Amino acid sequence: MPGYVLIVDFFGVVLAVIGFTMAFCQPAFRRLIGRPQAPVSRVVSEDGGDPLTYILRIAGVMVMIFGIVLAGMFTLFNLA
């Protein structure tokens, strides 16, 4: 397998890890970007809760899937 495929695969894995961290490990990602912790209350308040939580979930899943698809498609096209 050529080196450029491994580089793109590595980039895809990095994107997948970043996206997973954004979506499912939010306290660690919030510390990384310097934002305060999410409110302790798990009950959705009248204002809809913390908007950063939903932004991180949606964007994290999108980045994670993009990394997986990028690496997978590039590798599959190279193997064909």
47 within domain boundaries: no
68 within domain boundaries: yes
46 within domain boundaries: no
In this structure, the number of other CB atoms found within 10 A of the CB of residue 44 comes to 9
Q: How many distinct structural domains can be found in the chain?
A: 1
48 within domain boundaries: no
> Model's pTM, two decimal places?
0.82
70 within domain boundaries: yes
12 within domain boundaries: yes
CB 75 within 8 A of CB 13: no
Q: In angstroms, rounded to a whole number, what is the distance separating the alpha carbons of residues 3 and 61?
A: 28
**Which tokens belong to 67?**
């990394």
Domain hosting residue 22, numbered range: 3-36+53-79
Q: Could you report the per-residue pLDDT of 14-73, keeping only the tens digit for each?
A: 999 999 999 999 888 999 888 888 766 655 556 667 888 899 999 999 999 999 999 999
